Amino acid sequence: YTMLEVNRKDTKELKELSQSFNDMMLDLKAHDENQQAFIMNASHELKTPITVIDSYSQMLKRFGREKEDLLDESIAAISDEAKRMKYLTEQLLSFAKVTHHSEHFKPTEINVVNVVEKITERLEAVYGRKINLSSNKETVKIKVDTDTFDQLIKIFLDNAYKYSNDEITVGIKDKDNTVDIEISDRGIGIPQEDLEHIFTRFYRVDKARARKTGGSGLGLSIAEELAKLNEAEISVSSTPDEGSVFTISFKKSGFKKSGSFEEVDDE
Ligand code: ADP
């Protein structure tokens, strides 16, 4: 190297370094703004129930002893809003957990048919509603992290339950390249123009109605993170007043790469 060449090389490296430093700062800034928006949204969502609880307890303090009907109304409202806050904080916690989940992530091979059957049986009891389960094969194996898999399925079943009054259907389809789990309901459906937004944090199609169903608008964004962790993809098709179908598609090729899928003995 002549002196000049070394210098030129150094300058190039320096330029690259400063460029990647710049990129890093931009990433950090975007991350910060993202986090700030998240905190603002979350605080806003928590503020509404707190305001309701606060004003009802003020009223109770002043008039609660004299007016019995006010007593009942206030207690019902306070209890409703407290439940909403509980749900929201639980959702916020699981959102925080899932974005830091990778270290506890343990993929194991499961028979989806058995695992989903257990989940639906448990939730049938909770909802008091029938969940139909069908599968094109008796045994369908995929490799997933069982904790996040359970959470993922539950989010879609909870939504199907919240946004319909009719039966819920879960179909497992072992296809050539994927294993698809379809969760369908015959409920209110989602308007076409909202479909692309429903995975956005805190997005709800109908805020007023969602308040009644106790939605936080976090479920599907959590689902998307959980799916990503399990290398699955989510798609949705929906018709207003007819119902919705959410499909979670697990790749089979991934398992082949890691070698475990082909070595499985069928039970
Ligand atoms: P939420 O806690 O409000 O249910 P989600 O993130 O799970 O939040 O869903 C976002 C929005 O998508 C919901 O508020 C609802 O408007 C719509 N949605 C989700 N699942 C369904 C469904 N099965 N049927 C109709 N609308 C749905």
**Per-residue model confidence as pLDDT tens digits over 92-117:** 888 888 777 666 788 899 999 999 99
Dist CA 230 CA 201 (whole Å): 20
3-state secondary structure of 137: coil
Name the pTM for this structure: 0.79
Whose alpha carbon is nearest atom 7 of ligand 1? 219
Cα of 184 vs centre of ligand 1, distance in Å, is 13
Please give the structure tokens belonging to residue 195.
């479909």
ipTM above 0.95, yes or no: yes
Whose alpha carbon is nearest atom 11 of ligand 1? 204
Rg (CA), the chain: 24
Side-chain-facing half-sphere of 185: CA atoms under 13 Å: 22
First and final C-alpha spacing in the chain:
67
Looking at the DSSP bridge assignments, the partners of residue 250 are 179, 232
Looking at the DSSP bridge assignments, the partners of residue 135 are 172
pLDDT digits (tens, 9 = 90+) for 205-244: 887 666 666 678 899 999 999 999 899 999 999 999 999 9
Contacts of 201 (CB under 8 A, 6+ apart): 38, 41, 95, 217, 218, 221
pLDDT digits (tens, 9 = 90+) for 137-172: 999 999 999 989 999 999 999 999 999 999 899 999
Residue 97's pLDDT is what?
80
Span 113-136, average pLDDT: 96
Dist CA 247 CA 229 (whole Å): 16
Please give the structure tokens belonging to residue 131.
């969940």
Whose alpha carbon is nearest atom 2 of ligand 1? 215
Cβ atoms of 232 and 251 within 8 Å: the answer is yes
